[in-house]
Amino acid sequence: MPKLSAWLNAARLRTLPLSVSGVLVGTSLANSHEKNNLLILILALLTTILFQITSNFANDYGDGVKGTDNEDRIGPKRALQSGLLSRKELKNGIVISMALSLFFVIYLLYTAFGSAYIGYSLFFLALGIISIWAAVRYTVGASAYGYKGFGDIFVFIFFGLVAVLGSMFLYTKSLTGFAWLPAVTIGALSVGVLNLNNLRDYESDKKVGKNTLIVKMGFGNGKKYHYSLVTIAFVSMLVFIMGNFTKWYHFVPLIAFIPVFAHLIKMYRTKAPILLDPELKKLALSTFLLAILFYITYN
């Protein structure tokens, strides 16, 4: 496989739509308050994509070095595991993606705040640095938090609260109480995608000592936890719409939950972890569909 294909494999392009969902929802919330800036949107999307690519490179590297990615792994083969990229190459890729992420964070903050809001710029810069740190430390290092069951918390915070509320604040310089509800929705669904990944890898993670939340609570409880995440996501979005709709089409984003609930039926009937792999794509794309419909509807 050519090197370009190897890097694309390590970047895991199929994860990128989910990563930009929060930015689209946050931008839509800002637009509904008549705050628009195309450059902020483009830079926010690029920054988020780079965060995700950094995380994917680091995850490939961390799990590969620790031996978590082995012959027992169910999902797609990883770049380091398959020998498509060496440790040195992947480590260099992480450093480059981190540097690019930081560059776009600074560019984004300058575009959004200029020199008029130094305090906001410093706060978001710190938040950006923490986001880069979180992207890498999920699996890299002796104290990787993904191996201690804290991945769900970080995903909820960064994919949900930070992505949605942070994006909105870049435009508006303020937040509303109702804005927290879509942020919770995107955060819960993003955790759901991670949870599916951990459910799928339950057996292999347990063998190598990767103590995800699923390894700690067990496969059966993990499925119940998943139902709760989806329920929280749906109720949060429904409450938001009920409290803010002025036109019938403001309910359109709820269409995205049709494939989500179909996914829950499939999940309820699934007993073997290996059969959950296709469900990751379904939930991730459904979340992206929700973000697209929300963006179109509330603009």
Q: State pLDDT tens for residues 196-210.
A: 999 998 888 888 788
pLDDT band at 65 (very low <50, low <70, confident <90, very high): confident
Using a 10 angstrom Cβ sphere, with 0-12 exposed, 13-18 middle and 19 or more buried, the burial of residue 238 is middle
- Distances from the Cα of 31 to the Cαs of 15, 110, 220, 237, 295, in angstroms? 26, 20, 42, 18, 9
pLDDT band at 73 (very low <50, low <70, confident <90, very high): low
Q: Between these two residues, 173 and 141, which has the higher pLDDT value?
A: 173
Q: Which ranges constitute the DSSP H helices of the chain?
A: 3-11, 16-31, 38-66, 79-82, 87-113, 118-137, 151-155, 167-172, 180-200, 202-208, 213-217, 219-244, 257-269, 277-297
Gap between the Cα atoms of 19 and 105, Å rounded: 16
Residue 232 lies in a domain: yes
Residue 5 lies in a domain: no
10 Å Cβ neighbour count for 73? 17
Q: Which amino acid is at 206?
A: K
10 Å Cβ neighbour count for 203? 14
pLDDT band at 72 (very low <50, low <70, confident <90, very high): low
10 Å Cβ neighbour count for 158? 23
Q: Which residue has the tokens 């050519």?
A: 2
At 19 the pLDDT is 93
Gap between the Cα atoms of 147 and 164, Å rounded: 26
Q: Which amino acid is at 232?
A: I
Q: What is the mean pLDDT of residues 46-60?
A: 92
- Distances from the Cα of 295 to the Cαs of 13, 24, 32, 78, 164, in angstroms? 22, 6, 10, 33, 12
Comparing 17-26, 119-128, 132-141, 158-167, which segment has the lowest mean pLDDT?
Answer: 132-141
Residue 4 lies in a domain: no
Task: Please tell me the total count of domains within the chain.
Answer: 1
Residue 54 lies in a domain: yes
Query: What residue numbers bound the domain in which 179 lies?
Result: 17-297
Residue 21 lies in a domain: yes
Q: Which amino acid is at 14?
A: R
pLDDT band at 6 (very low <50, low <70, confident <90, very high): confident
Residue 3 lies in a domain: no
Residue 10 lies in a domain: no
| Number of helical H runs and strand E runs in the chain | 14, 0
pLDDT band at 185 (very low <50, low <70, confident <90, very high): very high
Residue 97 lies in a domain: yes
Kindly report the length of the chain: 299
pLDDT band at 2 (very low <50, low <70, confident <90, very high): low
Gap between the Cα atoms of 49 and 94, Å rounded: 14
Gap between the Cα atoms of 265 and 242, Å rounded: 26
pLDDT band at 271 (very low <50, low <70, confident <90, very high): confident
Gap between the Cα atoms of 106 and 100, Å rounded: 10
Q: Are 136 and 168 in contact (CB under 8 A)?
A: no
Does pLDDT of 180 surpass 90?
A: yes
Q: What is the mean pLDDT of residues 77-102?
A: 86
Q: What is the mean pLDDT of residues 123-147?
A: 89
Mean confidence (pLDDT) of the chain? 90
Q: What is the DSSP letter of 78?
A: P
